[in-house]
Structure 1
Amino acid sequence: GANGPSGFDCSGLMQWAWAQAGVSLPRTSQAQRYAGRMVPLSEARPGDLVAYRADASHIAMYVGNGQVIHAPYPGAPVRYDPVGMMPVSSVTRV
């Protein structure tokens, strides 16, 4: 997968974004899901990682107001979407 800054996959974007704040995250969405403390979706705060599907095959960053930012699929631009765009499996506070 791509890890930017000219192109990203979902976990590469999360790794790059947190690196800008001096925080090292693992490379895969499955590992990123465990890179902090799990919190309920109802308590999500900007910066929290939102993992999707039971296998954490997709990950995004909560930005507030019910929105996430993510790299949706290969070749697509990074974009904002509703947090509930897919089944949420966990929320992680880094």
Structure 2
Amino acid sequence: MATTTPLELDDDLQTRVQHLASARRRSASWIMREAIAQYVEREEKREAFRADALDAWEAYQADGLHVTQEEADAWLAKLEAGEDAEPPACHA
């Protein structure tokens, strides 16, 4: 189900959307829906990443488990070289 939401655009942005819509043979509404959908998806991923980082920080503060940058770099180098390497073990 779709609902109508009013959206105010300044004249310049409205013109740009209209030109893009014409170039893509789409409606201005389609362009705006697509832009909003992509923005929301990107921001949801960014928020999930931020929440994961805060959770990891809290876990580190609680137990001190970590890997060093050198350990992480060595593991990532193996993966980049195509090796099937296990991640390094966390330690305090």
Interval containing the TM-score (normalised by the shorter chain): under 0.3
User: Would you tell me which structure has more helix in proportion to its own residues?
Assistant: 2
Question: Relative contact order (C-alpha < 8 Å, sep 6+): which is higher?
Answer: 1
Normalising to structure 2: TM-score of the pair? 0.23
Normalising to structure 1: TM-score of the pair? 0.23
Larger radius of gyration between Structure 1 and Structure 2: 2
User: Would you tell me which structure has more strand in proportion to its own residues?
Assistant: 1
